[in-house]
Copies of this chain bind each other. A is one copy, B any other.
Amino acid sequence: MASSFGAAQVLVASNRGPVSYEVREDGSLHAKRGGGGLVSGLSAIGPDAGALWVCSALSDGDREAVRRGVGEDGVRMLDVPADVHADAYNGIANSVLWFVHHMLYQTPLEPVFDAEFRRQWASYEAYNRAFAEALAEEAAEGAVAIVQDYHLTLVPGMLRELRPDLRIGHFSHTPWAPLDYFRLLPDDIAEQVLRGMLGADRLGFLTRRWADAFTACCDAVVGGLGGTEIGVHGLGADGDFLRKRSHEADVEERMAELREQIGEGRRTIVRVDRTELSKNIVRGLLAYRELLAGRPEWRERVVHVAFAYPSRQDLAVYREYTAEVERVANAVNEEFGTPGWTPVVLNLKDDFARSLAAYRLADVALVNPVRDGMNLVAKEVPVVSDAGCALVLSREAGAYEELGEDAVVVNPYDVVGTADALHAALGLPAGDRAERSKRLAAAGTALPPARWFLEQLEALRG
């Protein structure tokens, strides 16, 4: 296979691939291409470079495509059985590892690591093994393999055993838990996760803080990092793409609609998130409520535009969280709304063009997660906002390391403090706000996806 990076072939492994399939009514398969950092990254090393992306079939359409031998050059989709994938992805990755790294459990009662957990863990191992075996099979001598995220923590170690000749990297897109929280995991599982990752030559994290937390876990649980290197690569927003995309016609249309909903001359506080437990949408609404209650001068003069897109709705706790978001938003509208003013414009339906429209109209961007690997919204809004926006930013978001200086920083649990921050952000003088927004945009686009990916490849090769 042709090589793509220096002398070495490049392989990428991630749960979700760059393409998905749908079975149409006439039985034909329809392919849909996605975007994101890895797509930009791989395209940057050249389309004919022989790179390979190993990913999992996620839907019935995907599995059907694998069975029919339909596919794309440069993509190998693994036909992981639906039940194994559900255990590995929902059961372990999203309900255990995600919860540990984001510290989301109600610890008196959760997690319960019982026999059912052990059964699901076996599926997680099988799912990781499927990736390791596919990579081992596909990789040319001395190839570079970069494995993505908490779904695939065991792959580096498994792959190392099968193919000692490869250069193996792993990148974590999440935070890393502090030691006391990481050790919620059963001891053998905690060790397996760390040893799995340490099978890599090099591990990447989004910030120094998460890298240090990982190192502390290794020191305490497995006696250090061994020979594995640690690198920090703060994935940034794709400024060129965002600036272009946000001026297309569909975005302009959505802007007109949004302006109508907001009303003439009002300030906007914008947030756009998946309805994810860690995003802290409910406390954001409570802080906005506190702003309206404690500083009545803002009533009628501001609108909170909150887009909260469906996420992991197959997990009950996410459905309940979504319901709570709606309940609190409605309560604020009932308490403060007037015939001409709806204080909260909540929308739960995913619409990228409308998100960009909201970015452009944002006076204040609210990004207040309880814990977040990076948070790209914090980096995107300043790039796109027409008049420059103020950023209210949680110090628990990875983006804080790069953006903290020009943001209004909050403790995400502190609702009164967040209300004060919203007030301060709304009141920033226009000049100051525009200057900060410019610096935020520059910092937020300092390492766009393609460069972020190339940096890792270079470091792995060096």
Q: At the interface, yes or no: A105 with Cβ under 8 Å from chain B?
A: yes
Near B by CB (< 8 A), chain A positions 54-104 give: 103-104
Q: At the interface, yes or no: A413 with Cβ under 8 Å from chain B?
A: yes
Q: Please report the C-alpha to C-alpha distance between residue A179 and residue B118 in the assembled complex, in whole angstroms.
A: 31
Which of A108-116, A428-436, A438-446 lies on the face that meets chain B?
A: A108-116
Q: Is the CB of A187 within 8 A of B107?
A: no
Q: At the interface, yes or no: A411 with Cβ under 8 Å from chain B?
A: yes
Q: How far is the CB of A280 from chain B (nearest CB, A)?
A: 8
Q: Is the CB of B113 within 8 A of A416?
A: yes
Query: Within the complex, which residue of B107, B112, B115, B413 is in contact with A294, where a contact is CB–CB below 8 Å?
Result: B115
Using Cβ atoms and an 8 Å threshold, which residues of chain B touch A186? Answer: 411, 413-414, 416-417
Closest to A108 in B: B277
Which of A130-138, A282-290, A333-341, A384-392 lies on the face that meets chain B?
A: A282-290
Copies of this chain: 2
**Contacts known (A106-B105, A107-B103); A112 close to B415, Cβ less than 8 A:** yes
Using Cβ atoms and an 8 Å threshold, which residues of chain B touch A274? Answer: none
Q: Is the CB of B107 within 8 A of A414?
A: no
Using Cβ atoms and an 8 Å threshold, which residues of chain B touch A283? Answer: 112
Q: At the interface, yes or no: A180 with Cβ under 8 Å from chain B?
A: yes
Q: How far is the CB of A395 from chain B (nearest CB, A)?
A: 8
Q: At the interface, yes or no: A192 with Cβ under 8 Å from chain B?
A: no
Q: Please report the C-alpha to C-alpha distance between residue A186 and residue B413 in the assembled complex, in whole angstroms.
A: 7
Q: Please report the C-alpha to C-alpha distance between residue A290 and residue B112 in the assembled complex, in whole angstroms.
A: 12
Q: How far is the CB of A381 from chain B (nearest CB, A)?
A: 23
Top-7 shortest CB links A-B: A106-B106, A108-B277, A186-B414, A178-B180, A114-B415, A113-B414, A184-B413
Contact residues of A with B, CB < 8 Å? 103-109, 111-115, 117-118, 178-181, 183-187, 277-278, 280, 282-283, 286, 290, 293-294, 317, 321, 324, 370, 411, 413-417
